[in-house]
Amino acid sequence: MIAAAEPVHLLDDFLASNRKTISAIAESWLDSGATAFGISSDGRWLALWPESPIISDQGAHASLRLNNQTVADVWVFGLDDVNTRCRLEADAMIIGSLAGQESELNNVTFELIDAQDQLLALYDLTESMRNRLSIDEALSSLVREAGRLVKSNACSAYLAFDPPVIAQFPQPMMSPSALQHMAEQVIASGSRLVMNSSASADDMRVESTSILLEPISIDGHVVGAMCLQRVRDVFKSPDLKMTRAVCDQAGAQFENLLRYRESLVKTRIQTEMELAKNVQLHLLPQRLPNVTGLDVSAGALPASQVGGDFYDFIEHPGDPFILMVGDITGKGMPAAMLMAMTRTLLRSKTRSFVRPSPLDILGSVNDEMYDDFTELSMFATVFVGQYDHAEKILYYANAGHSPVIYCPAGGEATLLEADGAPVGVLPNSTCENQAIYFNPGDVLVAATDGFSEASNNAGELFGYQRLLELVTNTAHTSAQNIMSTLYQTIGQFSAGRAQDDDQTVVVIKGV
């Protein structure tokens, strides 16, 4: 048994012998935007990348456990969010697992080395595979070491991945098609295949006295086979046992490698989605407009992934103030990309007219975007408002967007229903210019359906009626307070349930 004080020393040895692997993990973090990555124990840095970083207080850490003891902390500086902590915990588990496997293998080797010299060779196999970060490299290492361990003239291996992975050493003794054919028999049966007495296979390039194919399993499923060949001797019981041990160890190494690759892929996707979400947020106006006669507030609360909500303001001295709120159907990157295109086109079309009306803007955008939306089977709901301070009138056009709520001073809130199809549904826009007097105390709330369709744990939607009552009850307050109350109330209603959709809103109040 290992003494309680030894795990830290084991970790030191592991880090020293696996510098390449840990460096690859560290470089992955640095490529993701981290300023530093390291492993520390009792205030002492066991490993650090870069070696002399400027370390700030903005960091995340996860416990590294070895032999059921917390022996160190894995640190990342410059990043500290949910995805970072999840990824960091996964890396700490992988490092601890690899160190634990090495510790266990060391113990077995030290206890049995006098009785079984081949275990040391098996350890060498593990060492040769452990530092490989690709399946091809690991498989090539396997066939080189396994052929030496089992004293074979040649060794090949086949993994039924997509595409298949094949390795042969020292030189091909059979064609890839022959190796695949025999390996698929082993995969189908789940058991070893032994051919003796001048064994041969289709497309065999060197006739063999004995051919041994042993299954390679990953996570309990046979996914490939290792093929050993001898020219003058046959494989006996000790050879079969050693081959089985080699394939078991190889399968465990492949499993760890695949899990690590899956972790990297998931982390990369999460990082890309976070970057996309940040880009989306920066496409939104970074300051509120200063409009004569209006109190303006706006906000956007993204869901867990990028989506298609947006809002925008266009203000030029001497021209009416224009506001826009839109929602692209669907979620994910397609919606995000169409959102950016639609927003850009809305701004461009607004500038292309001398004095555009909401209908001019929506009609032009629909003409430009109809084919793109149709190809993707998507569409966008868009509300465009135009406030003229001199006339105290709000002109607007609504392409399928809801909810848009109007509350006159001292009155009750009502929905301004859409009078046209969403952008991208029909070749020509069916919207019309509408107009309402917008006097001091009047309120307009243009939101996305993330508010009305927010649900609680019972599956009940917040709905339009609650929104109307909420706007009526807060219409006497500032635009900022109306918006804050909307978010707070929706948050309380949906407490304990993940946010399903982006929640974007623009509030204007006459002053």
Residue with tokens 């939101």: 447
pTM above 0.75, yes or no: no
Task: Identify the DSSP state of 413.
Answer: -
Question: If DSSP states are collapsed to H, E and C, what string results for 240-307?
Answer: HHHHHHHHHHHHHHHHHHHHHHHHHHHHHHHHHHHHHHHHHHHHCCCCCCCCCCEEEEEEEECCCCCC
Q: Which CATH number fits domain 132-279: 3.30.450.40, 1.10.260.40, 3.40.50.11540, 3.90.870.10?
A: 3.30.450.40
Which of 61-65, 68-72, 111-115 is least confident? 111-115
On the CB side of 506, CA atoms within 13 Å amount to 26
Sheet-wide strand order for 404-407: 294-301, 503-510, 443-447, 404-407, 414-415
Domain ranges of the chain: 1-112, 132-279, 284-510
Which of 98-107, 154-163, 167-176, 492-501 is least confident? 98-107
**What is the percent of the chain with per-residue pLDDT over 70, rounded to a whole number?**
87
pLDDT class for 133, splitting at 50, 70, 90? low
* Contact in structure between 458 and 418 (CB atoms under 8 Å): no
* Contact in structure between 277 and 482 (CB atoms under 8 Å): no
State the Cα–Cα distance between residues 260 and 138, nearest whole angstrom.
14
Cis geometry, peptide bond prior to residue 356 (ω within 30 degrees of 0) = no
* Contact in structure between 138 and 130 (CB atoms under 8 Å): no
Alpha helices in 45-151 (DSSP H): 82-112, 118-130, 135-149
Residue with tokens 């793109």: 372
Query: What's the first-to-final CA gap in the chain, in angstroms?
Result: 79
State the Cα–Cα distance between residues 147 and 423, nearest whole angstrom.
66
Give the chain's mean pLDDT. Answer: 85
Average pLDDT over residues 128-151: 79
pLDDT class for 477, splitting at 50, 70, 90? very high
38: helix, coil or strand? strand
| 382, containing H or E segment | strand 380-388
Task: Label the pairing between strands 309-314 and 294-301.
Answer: unpaired
* Contact in structure between 21 and 131 (CB atoms under 8 Å): yes
CA 133 to chain centre: 21
For 377: left if phi > 0, alpha if psi spans -120 to 50, otherwise beta; the answer is: left
Residue with tokens 């086109």: 345
Q: What is the DSSP string of 302-314?
A: --SS---EEEEEE
pLDDT class for 451, splitting at 50, 70, 90? very high
Sheet-wide strand order for 59-66: 44-49, 36-41, 69-77, 59-66
Average pLDDT over residues 255-270: 78
Paired with 315 in beta bridges are none
pLDDT class for 299, splitting at 50, 70, 90? very high
Q: Which CATH architecture has domain 284-510?
A: 4-Layer Sandwich (3.60)
State the Cα–Cα distance between residues 47 and 71, nearest whole angstrom.
14
Amino acid at 270: Q
